[in-house]
Structure 1
Amino acid sequence: MSQTVVIYHSGYGHTEVVARQVAEGAGAALIAISPEGDITEADWAALGAADAIIFGAPTYMGSASWQFKKFSDATSKVWFTRGWEDKVFGGFTNSASPSGDKQVTLIQMQTLASQHGGIWVSLGLAPSNAKASGPADLNNLGGSVGLLVRSPSDASVDEVHSGDLASARHYGARVAGIAAKLKG
């Protein structure tokens, strides 16, 4: 059995809802990045012990939130020791718009994982892109690098689309499953 950790920042609560679904799918522990962009020493230890790490952040103004970026920059201490090399990684992001430049945030996360010598896991779902497709369908935003989620700006945290939540559970299970296979 592999150990997976979901580390995320959520500005308004929507990304936290998604993080919980990813963690449920993965059987993972959750670490919330504080509003100040910090995590505890115990959180750093949990990330170090994990076989898989799944990043999550909202996309603001075309990239991850500054709180996630602060965490990302702080991982340089781990990078110097190659402490996360060969870990399995994944990532998800959320914004109000269907596109909202979310792909940029996923590439930012994928680059971070690659700099650490990690193994990135794609979403592994075909897009729901037929005329009849909608927000209740899996991968309705058509992501491939990682999980894309849309939370309209006037939606409460209880209104994250059901297809996005199901995709989140799928993705968490996929990342944890691949980590388990590699741990073998």
Structure 2
Amino acid sequence: MSVQSKTLAIVYHSPYGHTAKIAQYIAKGAEKIGVAVHVMSIEHIEWDLLDQADGIVWGSPTYMGSVTGPFKMFMDSTSKRWMSRKWQGKLAAGFANSGGLSGDKLSVLQQINLFSMQHGMMWVGLPLLSTGQAETDLNRLASHLGLMTQSNNAPIELTPPQGDLDTAVWFGEYLALMLNRIH
């Protein structure tokens, strides 16, 4: 009897590439644990993959203290799946990026969390204690509801900083371990 690999979908909006970069690093972490990962932009949603995934991670930049307009439109487009409870019982997690150190990323994570809860999903936060505040430290922004990263309004070749990227890998590993534990 073979054990089927768990699947994790990572869905994001990334107008400038920073959030897409974080999605890729989360995927690296999950893949290290042996989870099959499907990374997709909201502009290219593969609905069947989302419906079949064991878990879904949502990511958005922070625009004016909220998810981006297109990400909100994507969220609204899931109403038929909400009504049919298509994603009920799936693992859910979130990540948010902003140019500023705070950037009101918490409000984005809260919005994504509520969206997931309305779909009946099981939320998994980031249980990693901060190792400091330098750009090389893990969870330097001390978030626990989900992953927070900072792009510092710089090109994606330079940001987010290494500590944020390493935290994204850690988060992906943790989510994969939780998938294996829950499902």
Alignment TM-score, normalising by the size of structure 2: 0.91
| CA RMSD, 1 decimal | 1.0
Match of 2:152 in 1: 152
Map 1:1-184 to 2 at 5 A.
1-27=5-31, 28-34=37-43, 39-40=44-45, 43-129=46-132, 133-153=133-153, 155-159=154-158, 160-183=160-183
1 CA distance for matches of 2:177 and 2:90? 13
Deviation at 1:55, TM superposition (A): 0.3
SS of the residue aligned with 1:158? coil
Any idea what SS the aligned residue of 1:11 has? Answer: coil
**Unaligned 5+ residue runs, structure 2?**
32-36
Find the residue that maps to 1:137 and give its secondary structure: coil
Q: What residue ranges of structure 1 are gaps of 5+ in the alignment? A: none
**How far did 1:128 drift?**
3.1
Give the Cα separation in 1 of the matches to 2:125 and 2:163: 17
Task: Give the TM-score of the pair, scaled to structure 1.
Answer: 0.91
Share of identical aligned residues, percent? Answer: 38
Residues 65 and 103 of structure 2 are in contact (CA less than 8 Å); yes or no, is this contact kept in structure 1? Answer: yes
Q: Does the Cα contact within 8 Å between 2:29 and 2:171 map onto a contact in 1?
A: yes
Runs of 4+ in 1 over 6 A off after TM superposition: none
1:127: how far off? 1.9
SS of 1:63's partner is coil
Q: How many residues align?
A: 173
Residue 176 of structure 1: how far off its partner (Å): 1.8
AA of the residue aligned to 1:173: E
SS in structure 2 of the partner of residue 4 of structure 1: strand
